[in-house]
Chains A and B, each alone.
Chain A
Amino acid sequence: MLGAVLGAGFAAFVYMEVNGHHVTGMDNQVVWGLPHVFAVFLIVAASGALNVASVASVFGKVEYKPLAPFSGVVAVAVMAGGLAILAADLGRPDRLIVAMTHFNFKSIFALNMFLYSGFFAIVAVYLWFMMERRMNRWSGMAGLAAFLWRLILTTGTGSIFGFLVAREAYDSALLGPTFVIYSFSYGTAIFLVAALGALRWDGRVLDDALTARLGRLLGIFTAASLYMTVVFHLTKLYVTRYHGVEAFILAEGGAYTALFWGGQVVLGGIVPLALLYSPRTGGRRAAILAASVLVVLGGPAQMYVAIVGAQAFPQPIFPGWQESSRFFDGEIHPYAASLPELLLSLGGVALAAAMIAVALKVLPLIPDSCTDSSSPPLTSPPARPR
């Protein structure tokens, strides 16, 4: 199944590159489409998937320690999936080597290339230190380095948009920290979905107390994400010249407005919070899994609004004048993702899932038992005796 989706994604990539991007829904008004939505979502989520390891290594919560290596693997796999989409969507993917040899250090994109490749290297070293007993004593330091690196990385990813002063929907330094907070909730949710899924695949269940603890962490991050969303839009609304674009996103934007309120806020924020904190469902495995899935689905909704919605709204070139042209100035730009874009995007998700599955097969990622005396039991019922 994963192989089929991966194959379809690769076929979509070849089809788009041979024919050119005119076979996609993207055009010269909306140049970043669904592939970018998924790519940026996965990249942001990847850095957040490292949360569990960071909480164990950096913040000394030993109960998360047995899950830390899996957290690192999920982070690397999801990052690889996101970057694969981004690279496959380039106009000239054959020039990837150019991108790796020519750098404009004023470009946040160029800086991010170092941040992304450095992320792989640092998390790999961190995984090695965690999984190699002789190197364990250094794992705390590697964990701190990985944590700081991922904070910078996500700030850089948010800044790709934040520094685009030409687009009224962006143009805010708040997007850097906002993306960091989003990454906490997306990453924790993706980790929970992967961990619960992997253990079920293995015929085991995650310890109830640990599941509940991770659920509470997800609740805090989801609430923080909603808070950042509110603050971001309030700061925009404070500036009169942004009222048009804010009205578009929040009230008049059709699909974008529906995705914002329905997808990002309600399904991706309020419903998960209700599931996680309601006295009837809070702490229950099924509720935590459902909340995680909803947060994961809310992520692409948020990115769709942020990336495509921002381009759909016209750029004011002559502020104060009504503009019209044969190049669609002054108009809302339509966008509908094509099948190749969807397949390419899902291919990236499948790549991440396949990497996690392979890693689970070849690496002792989720321990059979928690022999570490400092950690409470991980699996329930207790693991088989060796």
Chain B
Amino acid sequence: MSGNARRGFLGTAAAALAGAALAPGIRLIDLAVARAPGEAVTGKVRWGLLIDSNQCATGCTDCVTACNRENGLQDTGRPRIDAQWIRKIDLKDAKTGREQSAPVMCQHCAHPPCVDVCPTGASFKRADGIVLVDRHTCIGCRYCVMACPYKARSFVHENLADQKPDVPRGKGCVEGCTLCVHKIDRGDGNTACAEACTSAGHGAITFGDLNDPASTISKRLRELPNRALRADLRLDPGVRYSGV
């Protein structure tokens, strides 16, 4: 082997070795989706949920309880007025009598009607697909509540106390499920409802990145027949349902 050829071989080998050594690290960084504080949210990920109503136990409300605890929602004894970020809907097929149960929350649509109708732009969608309300510019007109096909938005009717530092809320503003954005942003990698459902042993709620073909949610979405709620509206929700 001549000097030049040897030098070329060594160069290629070094590059291949470096690639082999670094690639898993790069892949790991990718998998962890670690986002430095201050780094902008990107559209590379799209967070979503898969609800498997076959696994969802009728009568179990652990997801609702966990959501209320995580986000500081309180029961004032006035259920028509209380904010409801997630609720369990009991379903019965009118023809066959088959019964199912499933949690419903903000569906984090790709084309959210609440964002379309908001006069001030307070309703907005983050690059990673999470639909939120900017509490500084919400004027409390409730047009988004009128526009949401999933009844997922609530208006705060009274003064609030004992709020969670991570979850600011306020009288006179509209709010809804944030997909536990504060947990996602600190890298928890799951929502309170999904954690509670797993702890209860049901596993009916799967959280993850819909854009990552290797994520658990993407794999399950490929395996299970599933659909969007009110698919006729073509809003491309980030929450999908299986079993109903």
Stretch at the interface among A73-81, A105-113, A223-231: A105-113
Q: Is the interface of A mostly helix, strand, loop or mixed?
A: loop
For A166, the closest partner residue in chain B by CB is B149
Known A91-B172, A166-B149, A321-B244; contact A99-B84, beta-carbon cutoff 8 A: no
Which chain A residues lie closer than 8 Å to B83 at the CB level? 28
B121 touches A318 (CB 8 A): no
Cα–Cα, bound, A103→B121 (Å): 6
| B141 in complex: contacting residue of A90, A102, A166, A167, CB < 8 Å | A90
Q: How large is the interface on A (under 10, 10 to 19, 20 to 34, 35 or more residues)?
A: 35 or more
Within 8 Å of chain A (Cβ to Cβ): is B93? yes
Q: How many residues of B contact A (CB 8 A)?
A: 56
Which chain A residues lie closer than 8 Å to B230 at the CB level? 316-317, 319
Known A104-B120, A325-B88; contact A95-B139, beta-carbon cutoff 8 A: yes
Cα–Cα, bound, A372→B151 (Å): 59
Known A91-B141, A328-B80; contact A113-B233, beta-carbon cutoff 8 A: no
For B146, the closest partner residue in chain A by CB is A164
Nearest Cβ on chain B to A165's Cβ, whole angstroms: 6
A92 touches B138 (CB 8 A): yes
Which chain B residues lie closer than 8 Å to A333 at the CB level? 80
Cα–Cα, bound, A97→B115 (Å): 20
A109 touches B141 (CB 8 A): yes
Query: Which residue among B102, B157, B229 has the maximum number of chain A CB atoms within 10 Å of its CB?
Result: B157
Known A91-B173, A317-B89, A325-B89; contact A104-B139, beta-carbon cutoff 8 A: no
Chain B interface residues toward A at CB < 8 A:
78-84, 87-94, 100, 102, 104, 113, 115-122, 136-143, 145-151, 154-159, 171-174, 229-230, 233, 244
The contact sample of 6 A-B pairs, CB cut-off 8 A, is: A20-B172, A102-B137, A103-B119, A322-B93, A327-B84, A329-B151
In addition to A28-B81, A317-B149, A327-B79, 16 A-B residue pairs with Cβ atoms within 8 Å of each other are A21-B158, A28-B157, A91-B155, A92-B138, A99-B119, A102-B121, A103-B119, A109-B117, A110-B119, A164-B146, A166-B147, A167-B146, A317-B151, A322-B91, A325-B88, A333-B80
